[in-house]
Amino acid sequence: MKKKLNIGVVGCGFMGRTHSNAFLQAPRFFDLPLEPVLARICSRNRERAEKFAANWGYQGIETDWRKLVESRDIDVIDIASPNDTHAEIAIAAAKAGKPVLCEKPLGRNAGESESIVKAAEEAGVPTMVWYNYRRVPAVTMAKQIVDEGKLGRIFHYRTVFLQDWTISADLPQGGDALWRLDVNVAGSGVTGDLLAHNIDTAMWLNGPIDEVVAMTETFIKTRKHNLTGKQEPVGIDDASAFLARFRNGSLATFEATRYARGHKALYTLEINGERASIAWDLHDLHRLEYFDHRDEGRLRGWRSIHVTDSDHPYMNHWWVPGLQIGYEHTFVHQAADFISALGENRKASPDFAEALNTDYVTSAVLESAKSRSWVKVKARTGTASA
């Protein structure tokens, strides 16, 4: 029998659901060295926690995350609660000697993330941040293609994350469902919430970013706050765009907004190299577009690879070739990778230190937007790891 891994999850919102599903599904589709158990779900709201526990099959609930962290029978702490809770819980979990998983972004700002990394490193506990889009099979395959050198020298990286759900001025800020609009809870707007994904994938695929120049805008300046009932200033960035220089000499454009009418979650990326280019679009997540200039001239063109075959990343764990998987599977892959790494004493990626590099870029972006000038990105580690 496999050794059990008792997981305590904090937060029963959208991310609590994706993580719970991931821990449930991972051992059914991957041969893992440890057996994850949904041991406890934690929420301040008892009724909510009980309902959530019943739905997902948790063995018990907790209403105070401190108790969860201190529980001897809990092996791993998984943080799926709003951004303003990440630092306190992650630091306490690390000090208790427990492996910690955390939703993105790691902290509300780079300073907060630094203190989380420090605590985790002092305690020497395994960590991981849920940058799930790396685990879309087509994106993982893009990484293989880049690492194999098929693109040659890379010139351009182009990426967007577009949404449209905050256009109405009547939408309030704050509270359970809308904490992403409250700067005190979220830390920033689309820079930390959406561009963090683009940046994580970009540095994973194309290496470190050295400098940025950015602009941000807050289109709706005040919103009613759900917790006070008052009209209050909006402190988050509604839209954020920046130019970047990668260490490898390539140039990049990044854009994210919640004001692109018609777009719900359009995450795209394109990389142009000397020999070949690749492109990917979350709305068609199984397709990796690939253009190779070395193909015979008459037949040269963009090919659309349906990344569903058994020799494609992760796909041999699922159905039969050609059948698709979706968004939730990216979390299943990440849970499986984490549990495998934990059981085999390896580092899972991105760990907290690697995710801090993303927060250094988002901090530089916000600083640049303020100062209206190029800002050098603080670098902690050399390159983003595999």
By CB under 6 A, name the binding residues for ligand SOE. Answer: 163, 193, 197, 265
Q: How far is the CB of 296 from ligand SOE (least distance, A)?
A: 40
- Distance, in Å, from the CA atom of 237 to the CA atom of 259, rounded to the nearest integer, reads 11
Please, what is the end-to-end C-alpha distance for the chain in angstroms? 31
Closest CB to ligand SOE among residues 163, 240: 163
Q: How far is the CB of 347 from ligand SOE (least distance, A)?
A: 23
| β-bridge mates for residue 244, sequence order | 212, 252
User: CA geometry: angle at 213 spanning 216 and 358, to 5°?
Assistant: 85
Q: How far is the CB of 265 from ligand SOE (least distance, A)?
A: 5
Q: How far is the CB of 31 from ligand SOE (least distance, A)?
A: 28
Closest CB to ligand SOE among residues 284, 295: 284
Which of 306, 333, 359 shows the shortest CA–CA distance to 136? 333
Closest CB to ligand SOE among residues 265, 323: 265
Q: How far is the CB of 13 from ligand SOE (least distance, A)?
A: 10
- Distance, in Å, from the CA atom of 200 to the CA atom of 359, rounded to the nearest integer, reads 9
H or E segment to which residue 20 belongs: helix 14-29
What single-letter amino acid sits at 33? P
> DSSP secondary-structure letter at 319?
S
- Within 10 angstroms of residue 332's Cβ, the number of other Cβ atoms is 26
Closest CB to ligand SOE among residues 164, 210: 164
Tell me phi and psi for residue 156, to 5 degrees. Answer: -135, 145
Tokens of 306: 């349906």
Decide if 86 contacts 103 (C-beta within 8 A): yes
- Distance, in Å, from the CA atom of 160 to the CA atom of 231, rounded to the nearest integer, reads 31
Residue closest to ligand SOE, measured at CB: 193
Q: How far is the CB of 267 from ligand SOE (least distance, A)?
A: 8
Closest CB to ligand SOE among residues 9, 39: 9
Residue spans of beta strands (DSSP E) within 258-380: 266-273, 276-281, 287-292, 303-306, 375-376
What single-letter amino acid sits at 43? S
> DSSP secondary-structure letter at 225?
B
Closest CB to ligand SOE among residues 96, 129: 129
Closest CB to ligand SOE among residues 15, 356: 15
DSSP three-state, residue 279: strand
Closest CB to ligand SOE among residues 155, 259: 259
Q: How far is the CB of 208 from ligand SOE (least distance, A)?
A: 22
Q: How far is the CB of 240 from ligand SOE (least distance, A)?
A: 14
